[in-house]
Amino acid sequence: MPDLHPPAERRALRHRIHRIAGQVEGIRRLLDGDDPDCGRVLQAITACRGALNGLMAELLAHHLEDHVLGRGTPAARRRSAGELLAAMRSYLR
């Protein structure tokens, strides 16, 4: 099976994950405060969700292009398509 992403792209993905982790930590800090502002908490959650959605969209596109539509045996491509559908169904719940 091919590598998830080339090293430069993997570094960018790790950077995105670090930013998302920082956003989650920010939400925790807001909630741990003495009097959390609901509007700020909701805005922080929305931003974090958007970042996760962007990451998911990028990885779904990569999986589709490289593993479902890319080279490989028909059986491997069917398996990859099944993985993609399972991830999408789970994510969209």
Domains along the sequence of the chain with CATH: 7-91 (1.20.58.1000)
Residue 27: predicted pLDDT: 97
Find the helix or strand (DSSP H, E) in which 77 lies.
helix 74-91
**Spatial distance between the Cα atoms of 87 and 15, rounded to a whole number of angstroms:** 22
Q: What is the pTM of this model?
A: 0.80
Using the predicted structure, report yes or no on whether residue 1 has a pLDDT greater than 60.
Answer: no
Write out pLDDT tens, residues 35-84: 889 999 999 999 999 999 999 999 999 889 888 998 889 999 999 999 99
Write out pLDDT tens, residues 2-33: 556 678 888 999 999 999 999 999 999 999 99
